[in-house]
Structure 1
Amino acid sequence: MTKQADAPHDTTPSRTADRTSVRNTARDDADAREFEAYARTQDAAELQAALWASRSHDGLDAAAQAEFRTWLAADASHGPLYEALGHSLDGVRQLPAEHVHALKQGLKVDALQAAATAATSAAPAKPRQRPASPGRRAWLLDLGRLVPQAAMAATAVGVVGGGWLGWDRWRSQPTFEKHYATARGQRLNVDLPDGSTLQLDAATQAEVRLYREHREVRLVGGQAMFIVSSNPAQPFHVLAGAARVVVVGTRFSVRHMPSGIDAGKTTVAVESGRVRVSGAALRGAPGADAGIGIGVGVELGAGQGVTADEAGRLAPVVAVAPGGVAAWRQGRVSFDDTPLAQALAEFERYGDTGLVVRDPAVGAMRLGGSFDLRQVGTFAQALPQLLPVRLERRGAVLEVVGVAGQ
């Protein structure tokens, strides 16, 4: 039986452009529907305040001033809302002049055409070029209906600042937000809506927020493995301590502990792909609008790692041994010239060791090696061979004490 050949795939520029236009149109329509739904959930007085704040910036004629005073007098909350929205628009007004001009020109054309259509509804509508951001412009035109129809075009032009504010506020809202936490000895695999996976170690907390233009995880404390689904249009950010990790798609681990081994520091190790690690000057709350200043960064490939201190300063890049990335996934922990007290604290993250150290000099003794987290008894038995100590029973616990003369 002869297999019929597939039809040739048309890759001419015009067809490619058509397909791109279809995809963009579908995305714009989805944005329009989502933004209109968002606008409907907002307080009408706030939207009107944004409208008046924007119109007032360009000046009001006598009739508009009278209307404005009537609106202010209608409710005691209108004045404070107007002042707050006016201050919020200050940032919008710092946009480059050419951007504002382009927005106003586009809005003016849309508004005039909408007004003309309303005035001559019996006449067939003429096709026109689709706006780049129909959702935002549609919302702006809806705001225009808050005032008389004759002023719609002027309102649409004047509300560009308020429209930008509303659009920007909508874009800044996360589409997914959740806090994850594991208890002592517990591990958790989390499948995120974007196709990425988080593997959380014991005693770990992570805050996940997915935005329309980027993805973000704040590792509050603990350690996690990140398996990131590739999406160049939506970079993946991990914030941990004073460090920021930015990737598109890869596998890497991040450790940040408030106490214990490397307390306050953040360690990143890459299993596959590439990540960029930067020091971050945290000046605000978690989230996309936290005001995070990015410092000097390094790019890591597979088998590489780096540590950032509490101030975001990066140590030299180091090689990570095969299997050394997130070794806790295999139930192992490694120590390298680690104080005994910190080594025991690391074991305690996974369960009760039954070991105590009361002598600071013993707790400061250093050891190294790789150990099975599930074999705490084996670790305890090995201590007298690794360090000048012995184990003494003290009720329900074993105390690690120094050996005199050694």
Structure 2
Amino acid sequence: MNRHATTPSHAAKQDAADAREFDDFARGQDPVLLEAALWATRRSEAMDAATEAQFQAWLGAAPEHATAYDQMAHSTTPAQALPPARIQALRNSLPRRSAPAQRDRPKERSGWLAGLAPFFPQAATAMAAVALVAGGWLGWNHYAGQPTFEKHYATERGQRLDIALPDGSTLQLDAATQADVRLYRDRREVRLAEGQAMFAVQADTAQPFSVFAGPIRVTVVGTRFSVRHTQAGMDAGHTVVAVESGRVRVAPAAPGAQQAQIELTAGQRVTADAAAQLQPVTRFAPASVASWRQGRISFNDTPLREALAELERYGDTRLVLSDPAVGALRLGGSVDLRQLATFTQALPSLLPVRLEPRNGKIEIVARR
């Protein structure tokens, strides 16, 4: 006897295993979706006229067939494009995963499946099963990628806003600040478009908290820190991160960026330029972080033009500059934002300048 003529080949054994696997999987599926997956898989290959006619007849038999086919056609293409390792992993999961049935589940292989068997090679049925699983997998990825909470916050000049987020974290927005908050199932994100904010993050290792500001990404689990990113005033065009308690990681936001990342602890501050280059870390008293929360702004050897631009975030000072040399004069000290008029009156005693009223404004000029 010719042993090779009677011993099943490896391919035949694999086909038989695939058939059993597919039968087990089919019992737990919505029949219409399964038929649609079979047709979508079969039509991705060449079909003869008889098979095409069979497909058209099935498609026109019920309105739900066209809807199911469109859904499965969009699942089959990415499923076939998956790498072999991913396809095998999905096939291995078939006995454990099943889509919710929309009608009674058949206990045995249903008549429609047996009737369609001649139109579907075993490879097509195996890939159809993978497409069903991949469709659910891709659908889950899409589902997981949708935020569970999303809101835009904005403050005007002189306004501050306290925000309690659903995760237990809090934000305090300074004047003239815009921020977008999105909470996802696996992460939390805030995009600070302009202004500055103080963050108190509820610790959750399963959902890291990230703040995107300019070219910088600040990532934490639980801590208190401030982020500033403005186009006017102090540190204009830069991003400043200061930590009150805990730890944060500061890194370029762009994927694949080569710049170094650093970790800050309480009492440390770092500034990044528009190219995400980090300047040397500096130290400060943690209690002084985000002093604007107490209604004060501190200047430390700050050019007068920057100090005035900063104060304009909180109110109309009526102060103007036209002499660059005067604008370059350095200013120090703390200003009460509720007493801007007092600051104006004190300027001539702080710097070699005088005040001249002009057209409803007050021009700061050099003292003669």
- Provide TM-score, normalisation by structure 1: 0.68
Contact 1:179 1:205 in 2 (8 A): yes
Equivalent position of 1:338 in the other structure: 302
Q: 1:86 to 1:71 in 2, by over 3 A?
A: farther
CA shift for structure 1 position 85: 4.1
Following TM superposition, by how much is the alpha carbon of 1:394 offset from its aligned partner in structure 2, in angstroms? 1.9
Residue 39 of structure 2 contacts residue 55 of structure 2 at CA under 8 Å; is this kept in 1? no
Q: Which deviates further from its counterpart, 389-398 or 346-355?
A: 389-398
Provide the C-alpha distance between the structure 1 equivalents of 2:158 and 2:43, rounded to a whole number of angstroms: 59
Question: Deviations 1:16-59 (Å, cap 9, x if unpaired)?
Answer: xxxxxxxxxxxxxxxxxxxxxxxxxxxxxxx99x9589736985
Residue identity matched to 1:103: L
- Offset at residue 345 of structure 1 (A): 1.2
> Offset at 1:69?
6.4
Aligned alpha-carbon RMSD (Å): 4.0
Match of 2:268 in 1: 304
CA separation of 1:366 and 1:206: change in aligned 2, threshold 3 A: same
- The equivalent residue for 1:389 is 353
How far did 1:384 drift? 1.6
State which of 87, 90, 101 in structure 2 corresponds to 1:103: 90
Write the deviation string for residues 154-201 of structure 1: whole angstroms up to 9, x where unpaired: 433233332222111111000110000011111000100111100000
Match of 2:291 among 312, 327, 337: 327
Matching residue of 1:365: 329
Q: Provide the rounded CA distance (Å) in 2 between the counterparts of 1:191 and 1:118.
A: 50
The answer as to whether partners of 1:93 and 1:161 remain within 8 angstroms in 2 is no
- C-alpha distance in 1 between matches for 2:297 and 2:327: 18
Match of 1:118 among 89, 106, 111: 106
Match of 1:182 among 152, 155, 176: 155
Residues 79-228 of structure 1 mapped to structure 2, 5 A cutoff: 85=74, 89=78, 93-94=81-82, 97-108=84-95, 110=97, 118-119=106-107, 154=126, 155-228=128-201
Write the distance in 2 (CA, Å) between the matches of 1:88 and 1:189: 48
Q: How far off its partner does 1:276 sit?
A: 0.4
User: What is the identity, as a one-letter code, of the residue corresponding to 1:100?
Assistant: I
Distance in 2 between the 1:337 and 1:310 partners?
Answer: 22
| One-letter identity of the residue aligned with 2:355 | L
For the pair 1:350 / 2:314, whether they are aligned, the reply is yes
Contact 2:209 2:221 in 1 (8 A): yes
Partner Cα distance (2:303, 2:87) in 1 = 60
How has the CA–CA distance of structure 1 residues 322 and 274 changed in structure 2, closer, same or farther, with 3 Å as cutoff? closer
State the percentage of identical aligned residues: 56
How many aligned positions are there? 320
CA distance in 2, matches of 1:248, 1:110: 33
1:52/1:219 CA distance change after superposition, 3 Å: farther
Question: TM-score, structure 2 length as denominator?
Answer: 0.74
Equivalent of residue 55 in structure 1, options 9, 17, 41: 41
Post-superposition Cα deviations, 1:279-316, rounded to whole Å, max 9, x if no partner, equal: 122xxxxxxxxxx4455210111111111111111111
Per the alignment, do residues 176 and 111 of structure 1 end up closer, same or farther by CA in structure 2, a change over 3 Å counting? closer
The structure whose Rg is larger is 2
**C-alpha displacement of 1:270:** 0.5
Output the CA distance in 2 between the equivalents of 1:57 and 1:297: 50
166 and 68 in structure 1: CA distance in 2 versus 1, 3 angstrom threshold: farther
Aligned-partner Cα distance in 1 for 2:72–2:190: 34
Q: Residue 258 and residue 89 in structure 1: after superposition, are their counterparts in 2 closer, same or farther (change >3 A)?
A: farther
The question of whether the paired residues in 1 share the 8 Å contact of 2:160 and 2:172 is answered with yes
* Cα distance between partner residues in 2 of 1:56 and 1:372: 74
2-structure distance, mates of 1:111, 1:388: 79
Q: Is the 8 A contact 1:52 1:82 kept in 2?
A: no
Partner of 2:10: none
Aligned to 1:9: none
Q: Residues 161, 375 of structure 1: CA spacing in aligned structure 2 closer, same or farther, 3 A cutoff?
A: same
Q: Tell whether the 8 Å contact from 2:189 to 2:212 is kept in structure 1 after alignment.
A: yes
Contact 1:365-1:387 within 8 A present in 2 as well: yes
Structure 2 runs not aligned, ≥5 long: 1-32, 118-124
Whole-Å separation in 1 of the counterparts to 2:324 and 2:213: 30
Work out whether residues 90 and 133 of structure 2, in 8 Å CA contact, stay in contact via their aligned partners in 1. yes
Cα distance between partner residues in 1 of 2:76 and 2:299: 54
